[in-house]
Amino acid sequence: MTEPLKRVCVIGWPIGHSRSPVIHTHWLEVHGLEGLYSRMAVPEHEIDAFLQGLERHGYCGANVTIPHKEAAYKNAARRTGTAQTLGVANTLWFEDGELWADNTDGYGFLANLDAGAPGWDQNPETALVLGAGGASRAIVHGLIGRGYKSVCVANRSLDKAEALREQFGENVLPISWDARHSVLPSASLLVNTTSLGMKDQPDLEFDLSEASDGLVVTDIVYAPLRTRLLDEAAAKGLRTVDGLGMLLHQAVPGFERWFGVRPEVTDTLRQLVLKDMGLGT
Ligand code: ATR
């Protein structure tokens, strides 16, 4: 008897912009696997029913994006420790008949730096994180997990940075937006998690003149691929890592859960996604 075709979807509202189908379809081809990965636009009032019926609709799992990451977390029967901590999930799969939820954003962030700036966490003393939104929470959690002693979080609304300290403890040091340069000389990592620098948004203004030589600079913005922050850092001779790799790496654990093979993030995949975004060479 042949196995039924494995079907996975990415759920969001809207969902047309998602690059996930390109990523997973490429991996299915590379590994010669039968499977289908599609986009599913689900409005807010239908998300709970959709997730509860996921298996009935024929799916063995899903990725979940804005605005449904909280619903994904709530509708799962079981959660990984990371999902539990963050209270939001982006990856769902079935195990022994139960719906599991994970959050792979922090994993994707760390794996991207591991690949793009090997040794970046050799001396995990001070990291400077700009922004305190949803992406920042996953990243701050990931950095603390890697042993960073001080994760300084500068945010326009200081209360959100303070909330991160309340959740993750004294390793998080909230900083006002105006003081965002203050810890730069001692930082070995600078991360932009704000929407500044994104296409159609204002640029992030950040003065790198006090940066140490070993500073690694990364931006989670990937459209444009080279943000002003990354260009200025590279011009100073600093190591930089763009945000596209985070998107690619966060997809790895889901594919492995659904299809039983751990896929690789390669340059071919990167070029495919860039082309899909209209940024191909
Ligand atoms: P995400 O899920 O991608 O993290 P988000 O939760 O909306 O998105 O967070 C956006 C981040 O960009 C926040 O840290 C936000 O600052 P506030 O918490 O003060 O809103 C930051 N941000 C957006 N526009 C900004 C601006 N013009 N100046 C400084 N920070 C900005």
pLDDT per position as a tens digit, 196-236: 999 999 999 999 999 999 999 999 999 999 999 999 999 99
**What DSSP state is assigned to residue 223?**
S
Contact between residue 141 and residue 85 where contact means Cβ atoms under 8 Å apart: yes
pLDDT tens-place string over residues 116-175: 999 999 999 999 999 999 999 999 999 999 999 999 999 999 999 999 999 999 999 999
Sorted by sequence, the CB contacts under 8 Å of residue 55 that are 6+ apart come out as 94, 99
- pLDDT of 74 > 80? The answer is yes
Is there a single domain that holds both residue 123 and residue 204?
Answer: yes
Residues in the chain, how many?
Answer: 281
Whether 69 is a known active-site residue: answer yes
Sorted by sequence, the CB contacts under 8 Å of residue 159 that are 6+ apart come out as none
Residue range of the domain that includes 57: 6-104+251-276
Contact between residue 128 and residue 105 where contact means Cβ atoms under 8 Å apart: no
Give me the pLDDT at residue 280, please: 72
- pLDDT of 41 > 80? The answer is yes
**What DSSP state is assigned to residue 3?**
P
pTM of the model: 0.96
> Among 6, 69, 74, 275, which one carries the catalytic annotation?
69
Q: Is residue 281, in this structure, part of any structural domain at all?
A: no
Rounded alpha-carbon distances, angstroms, from residue 52 to 46, 48, 72, 92, 259: 10, 6, 10, 12, 21
Whole-number Å distance, alpha carbon 69 to ligand 1 midpoint, is 18
Sheet with 98-102: list strands edge to edge: 36-41, 7-12, 61-64, 91-95, 98-102, 78-79
Sign of torsion over alpha carbons 187, 220, 62, 264: negative
* Count of the separate structural domains present in the chain: 2
Give me the pLDDT at residue 4, please: 83
Is there a single domain that holds both residue 67 and residue 13?
Answer: yes
Q: Mean pLDDT in the chain?
A: 97
Which residues share a beta bridge with 92? 62, 101
Q: Which of 194, 204, 206, 222 to mutate to test the pocket of ligand 1 (most atoms within 8 A of CB)?
A: 194
CATH number of the structural domain spanning residue 221: 3.40.50.720
Is there a single domain that holds both residue 85 and residue 212?
Answer: no
Give me the pLDDT at residue 279, please: 83
